[in-house]
Structure 1
Amino acid sequence: MNLKQSYHAGAVAQLDLFRDRLPAKPYHTDDLSAGLQVRSAERAALARYIQPNGPTHRFWLVYDIDRPGAAIDWSDRGAPPPSITAKNPENGHAHLIYGLKTSVRTAPDAKSAPLRYAAAVDCALQRVLGADLGYSGLICKNPLHPHWQVTTWEPRLYTLADLDSWLDLEPAQDRRKRLLDYGLGRNCNLFEQLRLWAYKAIRQGWPDFGQWQAAVEQRALMYNAGFAAPLDLQEVTHVARSVAKWTHQHLDASSFSAWQAAQGAKKGKTLREQGKVLLAAGATVEAVMQTLGVSRKTVFNWKRLV
C-alpha cells in the first residue's frame, strides 16, 4: 500500500467510525430553522446535521469555528490536528471533530475526577482554537453528508493525555474553582451546583422520593437555563435523577447531621484531612467519594487512619 492509499484508508476508517459511534436514535436535521428530528442512526446519517454523542458518553469533542480558514488554521494556533473537519463551502466556517480512543462517561455515576480532567481538556482546546463559546455541542455538521467539504487529518484516535500534551491545563488545576460553562465543563458545573444544593435542600422536610426527584429536576433545569448554551434536556434529566436518588438513599436526618457538622471542619484542610473528618463524623465511604471526588481505594486508606 502506497502513501496515498494509506491516507485514503485512514480517512475512510475515521468516517466509518463516526458512523458506527452514532447514538441509536440521534437528533438530526437538514435545516436548523426547521427544528430537530429523532430517527434511527441509519436514517439520521443522511441528514446535513447530526448528533455525534449520546447523553452518557462522549466519543467526539466537537468545536464550532466561525471564521474563514477554520478547517486549516488550527495548525497556526498550535492546536493538535483534528480527526475530521467539516467545512461549509459557502463561508469557510467549520466544525473540528476530535475522536477519543476511550469515551468519556458523562452520566452522573461517572467518577468526578476523570470527568473534570476531560472537561479541562475540552475547555483548553476551545481556547486554543478560538471556538464559539455559544456552541451547545448537541449536533454538528455531519461529515457523512456530501454538502460539506470533509477532510480527515489525524488517523489515530486521541487519549486525553495526548491532547493534554498540546495544551495548558493550569487554569483548571484548582478543583475549588468553577470550570468554564462550555462543553464538558457544563456537565461538571451542573452536577456540582446541583449536588451541593441537594445536600442542604433535602433536610427541608425529608420529602418522599417522588416529590424530591421532581424538586431536584426543577432545580437542575433552572441551573441549566443559566448556561449560555444549555445542555440537552436528556442530559439534564440524567444528572437530576442520579443526584435525587443518591441523596435520598444516603442522606437521612441522622446522617445529614453528621455530614453537616463535618462541613464546618473542612476549611483549610487537605483532601485527606477532609476525608478523615467526614469518616469520623459517620459519613459512609460512598458519601466521602461523592463529596470529595476521590476513589474508593483512597477512602479506605483514609479510613484505616481514623
Structure 2
Amino acid sequence: MASTVNGTALPGEAAPREAAPSVAALALPEFETLAIEVLDGAIAVLRVNRPERMNSQTVTMFHEFGAAALALRDSGLRALVLTGAGTRAFCAGFDLDEIDVITRMGVREFLAFQETATGGIQAIRHLPFPVLAAVHGPATGGGLALALAADIRYAAPTAKFSAAFVRVGLSIGELGTSFNLVRLIGPGRAAEIGYTGRLVGAEEAARIGLANRVVPSESLLAETLATARLIAANSPGGVRLSKRAIQRNLEITSYAAALELENRGQALLTRTEDMPEALAAFKEKRPAVFTGR
C-alpha cells in the first residue's frame, strides 16, 4: 500500500488509486458573515468570516448557516471542513455588541429567532456528508455549539471550549448543546462544564473526548483536510449511511424534542432579571449579581 502525506504519494511509491469525485456546480448565495471555498477532491471549507470580531455570531450569521447548508446539501461534496477565519478564534459565541437586537424582541419573536438559529446549526449537523471542525482559539457559547455540530473535531493547542451560557444568564440548553455535549462526553462532565461555564483547554478536550486530537497550530487546517481527503476517498454512499447510522443511534430520545425544550427555556430566560444584569455587568467590567428573579 502506498504511503501518502496529505494525499500525495511519497517518493518512489505509486500513487493510491481512488475514484475522482465530482461536485455539481454550486450556486452559492452571497454571504456577509461566512465564506465557502470548494477544493479539489469534492471537499469544501466553510469559514466563519468575522475575524475582526473573533468570528462572533450575529442574527445574520444564523440565517446564513441555514442558507449555506442548503446550498451544500445536494452538491456532491464528500466532506466539509468548518473553521474560523484568521488566527485568533474559531468562533467566540454571539457578538454582545449586537445583543440589543435580541433583548428588544418579544417572546414570540425571540422564539422565532431561536428556531432560526437552532435550525442553522442543525442543518450543518445534518449535512449528509461528514463535517470536520478545525478549532483554534475560543470556541465558546454558540461557537461550542457550532463545533459540536461537526462529526470530528481537531483542536490546535490554542483551542478553548466553553459552554459560557450561564455567564450571561442563559442555560446550556442552547443550539443543541445540551443534547450533543452529553452524548459526546457524558452527563457528569457535561454538567460540570455547563454549570461552571469554565474554559476547557485543548489537551483536556482531547482527553475527555470533546476533541478527537490536538494538532499543531501551523498544520491544523492541513491535517484536517488530510482526514477529509481520506474520507472522500471512501464510498460516498457508505460514508453517508455511516454518518446517518451514527447520528440516528445517538437519538435514543428525540433531538427535535430536545430543541423544542431548549428554545422555550431560552425564550423564558430572556424575560428574567439575570440576563440584563449579566450583560450590564459584562459591559461595566464587574461581577454580575444574579438573583434568580
TM-score, normalised with respect to structure 2: 0.31
Greater RCO (Cα-Cα under 8 Å, separation 6 or more): 2
**Bigger CA radius of gyration:** 1
TM-score, normalised with respect to structure 1: 0.30
